[in-house]
Amino acid sequence: MDYPEKKIEVRKQTAQRPFLRARDTPPIGLALLYGFQQVMVCVSALLTVPLIMADSMCAGNRIAVLRQTLISSTFVSSGISTIIQTLFGMRLALLQGTAFAYVPSVQGFMNLPENACNATEFDDVAKEVTDQKIALLQGCLIASSFVPMLIGSTGLVGMLTKFIGPLTVSPLMLLLAFSQADLMVTHISKHWVAIVQAVTLFATILYLADVKVPIPGMKNGKFHWYKVNVFGQYPYLIAILTSWIFCIVLTVFNLTPEGSAARVDKNISIAVIKESEWFAVPYPGKFGPPQFNTGLFLLFLLSAMTSVFESVGDYHAAARVSEERPPPSHAINRGILAEGMGSLISGLLGPGVGMTTHTENIGVIGVTRVASRWTMVMAGVFLIILGVVPVIGAVLSTIPDPLVGGVLASSMAMVVGVAISNLQTVDMSLSRNMGVFGFSMMFGLIVPKYFTKFPVDTDWDWLNQVLNVLLQMPMFVGALCACILDNTVGGATREQRGLRPRGEIYAGGIDECTYSYPKWAMNILNRIPGVQYIPCMPKEKKRTNRVGGEEIRL
């Protein structure tokens, strides 16, 4: 019996823009633009912490000068830390910036009766008083920075990652994004101009990403029109500049009232610009010799451990967004070690808070499809330049606060998408896996809210602080619950849990691994006796680990 032929319609798939992997090196011009875009995304977040810190230092009528000084040192510390992390740490495109986890510790310590200050911005406060407080922050930060450095160099963090799979990482990433919801609402609700920024950003990301714009240029000595995917490659830069210019127009033509969050001529911003120098280099000892306080040190130690837990999740998120294999233990060890070094640099130069990985910049990678580590190196160079030329950083401080909410929202949207896609290797048809994921999400949402309303109250103040910080952190509670359940509940194979089989490791030589150093550098390091025993150094697997007769390395 003959059947009628059916016509099969073949749909033409839209070609995606090429993905720049971590090992890829774009042209210098593109690398500069990509790096500048990453800086524009993080600049508002980098400005927030030094402004809060300056308000806590009781500077009186010197607060504008102090803000400029802390902004300058923050940019330089962030730039140096970013370069260290990208080239020598995780070796992924990770931007390092001030960790907000340190702010509650600073504010709590400065609000103690012996440190209380009632001076307003119109009162005279001796410079020595402010310098002494910053020197105290520096000394405690320097001391606490050695703890994550010790954890990274001894391999303690890397050992824990062997128990972390997609069922642990996905809840951590989702709870990380959900925990930013209040902050997004706080920023966006300050003015409707955030809608302009959000509409521009979503339009460039979702609707204009594949539109190519003709740009004039020269080719073989002749005039030529180049078709460039401007919207797809620089969506954040376009959105921030567009909305910033819109705010400038509102300010120039006085279309928004005085004191509005959308104005760029707020008294604080103008004062910082007026007091800024054209060239200034932060240096150790600028505020005097570092000092020490046991109570503040313990608070900073807790903040440092909080940043470590968050960073491990950020590393997995960055690897997923960058289309790289899950980070091996030696890379995570080295990443935490690099963050400890960044906090040490921050303690020496002056911001007074530690360094951590900025999650919003990870989301940018997923949107722009640019994960090249060299773009983040360029971002680090830009940050250093902004720090040593303070007037530029002061001008950037005029970016209105509502625009931060739009950038943060779109970045967290990408993190949520990556968290969901991370579950594609997990057999979610199993009730066991669904239960692990569901329980960990609910625990991460409920437990922190409970302990926020009913904090732990024991006879030991230090224990109260430790438990309240950890139990009020959704990422920690959810990830800990998922990790325990995933590693103790039976009923699923490693493949069904989204893990590779035991004994199977990734192919490729050390020089081919994203997380390892170049071959020439590894050859030099391998000549040094004992290097192979350092937990944060890339190393070859044992000869028993072979797949198909081919030697496998990490």
Report CA-CA distances (Å) from 476 to 7, 73, 205, 305, 455: 54, 30, 31, 11, 16
Specify burial of residue 28 (Cβ count, 10 A radius: 0-12, 13-18, 19+): exposed
Q: Looking at the structure, tell me whether residues 140 and 35 fall in a common domain.
A: yes
User: Are the C-beta atoms of residues 351 and 73 closer than 8 Å to each other?
Assistant: yes
User: Are the C-beta atoms of residues 375 and 28 closer than 8 Å to each other?
Assistant: no
Domain end point (choices 496, 511, 537) = 496
Report CA-CA distances (Å) from 106 to 46, 69, 194, 246, 252: 17, 18, 30, 36, 37
Structural domain boundaries enclosing 453 = 430-496
Report CA-CA distances (Å) from 497 to 433, 493, 547: 7, 6, 21
Q: Which helix (H) or strand (E) holds 217?
A: strand 213-219
CA atoms within 13 A on the CB side of 362: 31
Q: Looking at the structure, tell me whether residues 154 and 293 fall in a common domain.
A: yes
In-domain check, residue 451: yes
Residue 393 confidence (pLDDT): 66
Q: Looking at the structure, tell me whether residues 156 and 47 fall in a common domain.
A: yes
Residue 544 confidence (pLDDT): 46
Q: Looking at the structure, tell me whether residues 475 and 376 fall in a common domain.
A: no
In-domain check, residue 245: no
Residue 552 confidence (pLDDT): 41
Q: For residue 355, list its beta bridge partners.
A: 98
User: Are the C-beta atoms of residues 273 and 391 closer than 8 Å to each other?
Assistant: yes
Q: Looking at the structure, tell me whether residues 380 and 446 fall in a common domain.
A: no
Report CA-CA distances (Å) from 412 to 39, 360, 486: 17, 7, 25
Q: Looking at the structure, tell me whether residues 279 and 338 fall in a common domain.
A: yes
Q: Looking at the structure, tell me whether residues 464 and 328 fall in a common domain.
A: no
Written as one string, the DSSP assignment of 257-290 is -TT-TT-S--HHHHHHHHH--S-----TTTTSS-
In-domain check, residue 392: yes
Written as one string, the DSSP assignment of 103-130 is HHHHHHHHTSGGG-----TTS---HHHH
Specify burial of residue 243 (Cβ count, 10 A radius: 0-12, 13-18, 19+): buried
* Residue entry with tokens 């007037």: 391
Return the structure tokens found at 312: 């491990």
Q: Looking at the structure, tell me whether residues 154 and 66 fall in a common domain.
A: yes
- Number of domains comprising the chain: 2
263: CB partners within 8 A, 6+ apart: 247, 250, 251, 256, 400
The tens place of each residue's pLDDT in the chain, 554 residues long, gives: 444 554 544 444 555 667 888 888 888 888 888 888 888 777 767 777 777 777 777 777 777 777 778 888 999 999 999 999 999 999 999 999 888 778 777 776 776 666 767 766 666 777 787 888 889 899 999 999 999 999 888 888 777 777 777 888 788 778 877 877 777 787 788 888 888 887 887 788 778 877 777 877 767 777 777 777 777 767 777 887 888 888 888 888 888 887 787 787 765 666 667 667 788 888 888 888 888 888 778 778 877 877 787 788 788 778 888 888 888 888 889 999 999 999 999 999 878 888 988 877 887 787 778 889 999 999 999 999 988 887 776 676 667 778 767 766 776 776 787 678 778 888 888 999 999 999 999 999 999 889 888 888 888 876 776 777 678 778 778 888 998 999 999 888 888 888 765 555 554 445 457 888 888 888 888 888 888 788 888 875 554 444 444 444 44
Q: For residue 356, list its beta bridge partners.
A: 97
Question: Which residue, among 411, 382, 344, 361, has the nearest Cα to 141 in the 3D structure?
Answer: 344
Q: Looking at the structure, tell me whether residues 334 and 478 fall in a common domain.
A: no
Rounded to 5°, the CA angle 365-368-370 comes to 60
In-domain check, residue 21: no
Question: Which residue, among 262, 276, 265, 248, has the nearest Cα to 394 in the 3D structure?
Answer: 276
Residue 549 confidence (pLDDT): 41
At 527, is the secondary structure helix, strand, or coil? Answer: coil
User: Are the C-beta atoms of residues 434 and 171 closer than 8 Å to each other?
Assistant: no
Cβ count near 437 (within 10 Å): 23
How many Å separate Cα 448 from the centre of its chain?
22
Helices (H) and strands (E) in the chain, counts: 21, 6
User: Are the C-beta atoms of residues 344 and 142 closer than 8 Å to each other?
Assistant: yes
Return the structure tokens found at 227: 């078709």
Cβ count near 93 (within 10 Å): 30
Residue 114 confidence (pLDDT): 65
Specify burial of residue 14 (Cβ count, 10 A radius: 0-12, 13-18, 19+): exposed
Specify burial of residue 507 (Cβ count, 10 A radius: 0-12, 13-18, 19+): middle
Q: Looking at the structure, tell me whether residues 390 and 482 fall in a common domain.
A: no
Domain end point (choices 381, 399, 417) = 399
CA distance 92 to 371: 7
In-domain check, residue 4: no
In-domain check, residue 246: no
Domain end point (choices 447, 469, 496) = 496
Q: Looking at the structure, tell me whether residues 361 and 455 fall in a common domain.
A: no
In-domain check, residue 124: yes
* Residue entry with tokens 């989702």: 174
Query: Which residues in 387-396 are b (16+ Cβ under 10 Å) and which e?
Result: bbbbbbbbeb
CA distance 441 to 435: 10
In-domain check, residue 78: yes
Residue 265 confidence (pLDDT): 74
Question: Which residue, among 412, 322, 453, 313, has the nearest Cα to 45 in the 3D structure?
Answer: 412
Q: Looking at the structure, tell me whether residues 131 and 271 fall in a common domain.
A: yes
